[in-house]
Amino acid sequence: SYTGPSADEILAKRKTYLSPSLFHFYNKPLNVVDGKKQYLFDENGRRYLDGFGGIATVCCGHSHPDVVDAVINQIKRIQHSTVLYLNHVIADFAEALASKMPGNLKVVFFTNSGTEANELAIMMARLYTGSNDIISLRNAYHGNAAGTMGATAQSNWKFNVVQTGVHHALNPDPYRGAFGSDGEKYAKDVQELIDFGTSGHVAGFLSEAIQGVGGIVELAPGYLPDVYKSIRKAGGLCIADEVQAGYARTGSHFWSFEAQGVVPDIVTMAKGIGNGIPLGAVVTTPEIAEVLTRRNYFNTFGGNPLCTAAGHAVLKVIEKEKLQDNAFVVGSYMKERLNALKDKHEIIGDVRGRGFILGVELVTDRQQKTPAKAETLHVMEPDERITPPLCFTKEDADYLVDVMDYTMSKV
Ligand code: PMP
């Protein structure tokens, strides 16, 4: 049992000694002291079902014993920089990761975060093409360093500092976008950006296939194939950000871009791939990877033995426990149940996503699609995303939907 400081004491210390920009979920923030599979426990031993933490931290479940063992065994043996010495753990995980990739995406660069992965991908695209312009989507989130903040396109995540060389295309948002679900129409906007906003040559296009931070927006079908064609014609590379939606989460595919039938030139990932241990990766072709030999490229801890031991254990758990199938079966069931709630609760404007990356958007008026901000805080605190660990069960899905049903009846 837990004997540490209370939630209030921690909050007071955090306010004094930690960044004033930190925010927390819930009106009354949770002091989570234990985690097991899809459950979290607070300091009083109260159990919570985690319907959200799957993207942020864990894909195969909190404190999964295989991942815990892998980390402990590795730290007992040796932990050091990724770069300086040989270590089979790093190479083995890179090989396993490459085997999950289509096409000639076979070379892995490890990083410590998703931001770093996308920064590296953008830099490689610029070096490889000799062009500077990047196109990304409005409503995107790709990170918080100079390049990735530029590619991010939500004002609340963009500080007013120099972020040059990025153009933001119309978001192919089937619910709110001007062209509904017609992906090909939105794709024309990218061609126009190339024609009117650049020299005609671009470095690349960066997007998720399902926007996570942006509220689970699955790009309109048919969008990426056309955009990838335009980008390649303009000499650019196509970068897929799989930080949230990748890694078996969609259930139907291992990578979310696969649902659009495209093969990117560079793929980035992070968050859940280490099950809470900091780890990101960029995977690309041998030819593109060569650009980093023009200078020294060094990352002290990106993909160190401890983090890659965790990463490899996670991948094995996903396979051993058939978690992609689980995401498909339970996620589809949960989406069906959420859709059924729509008939009962006028406040539900849209149910979207696939597998275990689902979104429920609440509106005060279905015609006008006016966001129901206050109600969303009550029903879906912390936010509109349903992104559980991949081990979430049908019973968990029923519980989650029943609780939402009950809460919506009350607001
Ligand atoms: N890409 C996407 C799609 C993300 O959701 C995030 C994090 N929210 C990032 C990149 C950045 O990852 P990190 O916070 O690990 O830098």
**Backbone torsions φ then ψ of 21, nearest 5 degrees:** -85, -5
**Is residue 114 in contact with ligand 1, taking CB distance under 6 Å?**
yes
Query: CB atoms < 10 A from the CB of 4, how many?
Result: 9
pLDDT digits (tens, 9 = 90+) for 334-371: 999 999 999 999 999 999 999 999 999 999 999 999 99
pTM greater than 0.90? yes
Average of per-residue pLDDT across 139-168: 96
Q: pLDDT confidence of 397, banded at 50, 70, 90?
A: very high
User: Does residue 383 have a pLDDT over 90?
Assistant: no
- Confidence class of residue 379 from pLDDT cuts 50, 70 and 90? confident
Write the CB contacts of 218 (distance below 8 Å, at least 6 apart in sequence): 174, 209, 210, 211, 352, 353, 354
SS (H, E, C) 15-65: HHHCCCCCCCCCCCCCCEEEEEECEEEECCCCEEECCCHHHHCCCCCECCH
Output phi, psi for 81, to 5 deg: -65, 155
pLDDT > 90: percent of the chain: 91
Beta bridge partners of residue 283, listed in sequence order: 108, 267
Q: Which ligand 1 atom is the nearest neighbour of the CA of 55? A: 5
Identify the pLDDT of residue 225: 98
Q: What is the distance in A from the centroid of ligand 1 to the CA of 141?
A: 7
Helix, strand or coil, per DSSP, at residue 258: helix
Question: Per CATH, the architecture of 67-320 is what?
Answer: 3-Layer(aba) Sandwich (3.40)
Ligand 1 mean position to 274 CA, how many Å? 14
- pLDDT for res 53: 82
pLDDT at 330: 98
Tell me which CATH code domain 7-51+322-410 carries.
Answer: 3.90.1150.10
Locate tokens 């023009």: which residue? 294
The answer to whether the CB of 214 is under 6 A from ligand 1 is no
pLDDT at 54 over 90: no
CA 117 – ligand 1 centroid, Å = 9
Amino acid at 226: D
pLDDT value at residue 82: 87
Ligand 1 centroid to residue 383 C-alpha, Å: 16
Q: Which ligand 1 atom sits closest to the C-alpha of 113?
A: 15
Question: Which sequence spans correspond to the domains of the chain?
Answer: 7-51+322-410, 67-320
Q: Which long-range contacts (CB under 8 A, 24 or more apart) does 6-15 make?
A: 6/31, 6/43, 7/31, 7/42, 7/43
User: Is 208 exposed, middle or buried, given 0-12, 13-18 or 19+ CB atoms closer than 10 A?
Assistant: buried
Longest CA–CA span in the chain (Å) reads 63
Dist CA 399 CA 382 (whole Å) = 17
CB 379 within 8 A of CB 405: no
- Expressed in angstroms and rounded, the spacing between residue 366 Cα and the centre of ligand 1 is 31
The pLDDT tens digits for 63-96 are 999 999 999 999 999 999 988 899 999 999 999 9
Alpha helices in 130-182, H assignment, sequence order? 146-151
Ligand 1 neighbourhood includes 141 CB (under 6 angstroms)? yes
Q: Which of 119, 122, 137, 142 to mutate to test the pocket of ligand 1 (most atoms within 8 A of CB)?
A: 142
Q: State the closest ligand 1 atom to the C-alpha of 140, by its place in the atom list counted from 1.
A: 3
Give the start-end residues of each E strand in 89-159: 107-111, 134-137
ipTM of the complex: 0.99
Atom of ligand 1 nearest to the CA of 280: 15
Cβ(142) – ligand 1 distance below 6 Å: yes
Residue 100 has pLDDT above 70, yes or no: yes
Question: Which tens digit of pLDDT belongs to each residue from 310-320?
Answer: 999 999 999 99
Residue 108 alpha carbon to ligand 1 centre in Å: 18
Terminal alpha carbon distance of the chain = 36
CB 134 within 8 A of CB 205: yes
**348-386 in b/e burial notation, b at 16+ Cβ within 10 A?**
bbbbbbbbbbbbbbbbeeeeeeebbeebbeebbeeebbb
Looking at residue 56, its pLDDT comes to 66
